[in-house]
């Protein structure tokens, strides 16, 4: 209950700040995340939390996971699917909002926002594409915070749309870990408030 409340507050703060309301997201071909940066963190013997901590382009997410107290969860058995925003994705969030999340008083809000990026179970890009096809062009995923996250395809690119309407593109997929899979995305997803 406390985590849901925190996630809701974080999502509200992001939505109010106008985080990433862009209508069109870049394709994977124009992504800022070099495959080599994050690929080094992909390992079937490494947990999601450890892989995020080791990835040079996911430092903001790693810091948030630690601050929100989610490292233990993302080190657990899972399996989990994590849509991991890059540092450049976090830079799209207004500084006052980002800084606010990192304060101890906002730990629950930060945890809520980050849990919105986690889907229980392991979903590869092939699994997501199949769910999108089964759904007639749209798959609705239930996140760890209990809210819906929509997935669609644009060509071969997977586009995620949050419950608040902002979008993120999967720029690097299927980074398998011992307790699930990481898909790198280009923006922070904002849950509904």
Comparison of pLDDT for 97 and 161, the residue scoring more: 161
d(CA 79, CA 28): 25
Q: How far apart are CA 164 and CA 151, in angstroms?
A: 14
pLDDT tens for 164-181 read: 898 999 999 999 999 999
Assess contact for 63 and 102: CB atoms under 8 A: yes
pLDDT digits (tens, 9 = 90+) for 33-78: 333 344 434 456 799 999 999 999 999 999 999 999 999 999 998 8
Domains and CATH numbers, the chain: 2-185 (2.30.180.10)
Q: How far apart are CA 151 and CA 129, in angstroms?
A: 9
Sign, CA dihedral 35-37-42-47, equals: negative
pTM beyond 0.85: the answer is: no
pLDDT over 70 for what percent of the chain? 77
Helix (H) or strand (E) holding 113: helix 107-115
């Amino acid at each position: 209950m406390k985590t849901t409340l925190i996630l809701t507050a974080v999502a509200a703060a992001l939505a109010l700040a106008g985080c990433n309301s862009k209508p069109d997201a870049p394709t994977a071909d124009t992504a800022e995340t070099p495959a080599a940066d994050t690929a080094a963190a992909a390992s079937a013997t490494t947990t999601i939390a450890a892989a995020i901590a080791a990835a040079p382009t996911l430092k903001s997410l790693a810091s948030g996971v630690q601050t929100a107290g989610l490292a233990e969860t993302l080190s657990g058995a899972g399996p989990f699917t994590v849509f991991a925003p890059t540092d450049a994705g976090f830079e799209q969030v207004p500084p006052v909002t980002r800084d606010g999340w990192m304060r101890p008083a906002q730990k629950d809000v930060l945890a809520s926002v980050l849990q919105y990026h986690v889907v229980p179970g392991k979903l590869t890009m092939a699994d997501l594409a199949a769910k999108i096809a089964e759904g007639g062009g749209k798959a609705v995923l239930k996140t760890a915070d209990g809210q819906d996250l929509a997935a669609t395809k644009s060509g071969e690119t997977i586009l995620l749309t949050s419950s608040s309407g902002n979008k993120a593109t999967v720029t690097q997929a299927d980074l398998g870990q011992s307790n699930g899979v990481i898909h790198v995305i280009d923006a922070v997803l904002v849950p509904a408030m």
